[in-house]
């Protein structure tokens, strides 16, 4: 299943059609092959660069074994990727703005005494902030449930209503809110939960293994995006795959579950 486009281009079906079979490979195995092929290196060449046999690389890529943790730094260098790219996880620093990263860098240059002074000042500012009115963020609430188990995307945006929430790291990263319908994404997302979604193209491109909000036909879906289709976290539910004539649109990345207490009342 190809990567969804930010401009809402429909997701194309995988080769072989809806009933094609795909091997279930661990994410790191698939990503080693992906990045090796991007570099144009053969398995034996990559093996020489990191000091293992060609069979070892073949076994990794086919899911028969995993690279030893001691080989990961060399593997990243040989593939020209970061640790976070290799494992398909978001780099922690990406959660911080440029100003926040600059503040952390300068804090690390302070002496122990000056760090203590910064800590005391921070505590005082937080206490004063708690006494002040909390800042609010305007999100868009879409009452159409996300089926955690086909709407016209041209009409989708007109269905939202404003929802004001107290600011937080997750709320600040989100653009809209959807209710969850069903239990196919348990235990992480439950029926009736409200999920925060960062709209595409405002959000970074969705990676395999990440949870996204999708729309197809008359339903919206909360699913894990994988190469062969949309997966549920609950193993009792089958994966969703789509044919060439199916139109599947990516709404955005799921940031997390909205705490009902963060919704401003009144």
Any idea where the domains of the chain sit in the sequence? 27-93, 101-131, 136-262
pLDDT digits (tens, 9 = 90+) for 146-165: 655 444 444 555 578 899 99
pLDDT digits (tens, 9 = 90+) for 199-233: 866 555 778 889 998 887 777 889 999 888 899 99
Model pTM score: 0.49
Run of H or E residues at 176: strand 176-181
Question: What CATH architecture does domain 136-262 belong to?
Answer: Ribbon (2.10)
Domain 27-93 = CATH 1.10.260.40: yes
Residue spans of the chain under pLDDT 70? 1-25, 90-96, 129, 131-134, 146-158, 200-204, 266
- Whether residue 196 has a cis bond before it, omega within 30° of 0: no
pLDDT at 84: 81
pLDDT at 231: 92
pLDDT at 242: 75
């Amino acid at each position: 299943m190809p990567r969804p486009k930010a401009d809402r281009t429909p997701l194309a079906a995988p080769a072989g059609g809806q009933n094609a079979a795909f091997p279930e490979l661990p994410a790191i195995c698939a990503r080693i092959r992906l990045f090796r092929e991007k570099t144009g290196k053969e398995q034996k060449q990559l093996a020489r660069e990191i000091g293992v046999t060609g069979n070892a690389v073949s076994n990794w890529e086919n899911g028969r074994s995993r690279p030893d943790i001691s080989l990961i730094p060399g593997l990243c260098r040989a593939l020209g990727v970061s640790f976070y790219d290799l494992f398909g996880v978001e780099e922690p620093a990406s959660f911080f703005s440029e100003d926040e990263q600059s503040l952390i860098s300068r804090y690390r240059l302070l002496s122990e005494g000056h760090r203590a002074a910064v800590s005391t000042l921070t505590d005082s500012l937080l206490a004063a902030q708690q006494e002040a009115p909390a800042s609010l963020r305007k999100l868009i609430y879409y009452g159409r449930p996300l089926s955690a188990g086909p709407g016209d995307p041209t009409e989708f945006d007109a269905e939202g209503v404003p929802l004001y929430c107290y600011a937080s790291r997750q709320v600040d990263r989100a653009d809209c809110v959807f209710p969850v319908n069903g239990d196919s994404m348990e235990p992480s997302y439950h029926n009736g939960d409200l999920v925060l979604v960062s709209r595409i193209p405002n959000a970074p491109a969705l990676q395999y293994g990440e949870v996204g909000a999708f729309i197809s036909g008359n339903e919206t879906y909360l699913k894990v995006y994988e190469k062969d289709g949309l997966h549920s976290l609950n193993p009792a539910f089958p994966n969703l795959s789509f044919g060439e004539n199916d139109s599947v649109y990516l709404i955005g990345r799921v940031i997390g579950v909205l705490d009902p207490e963060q919704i401003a009342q009144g």
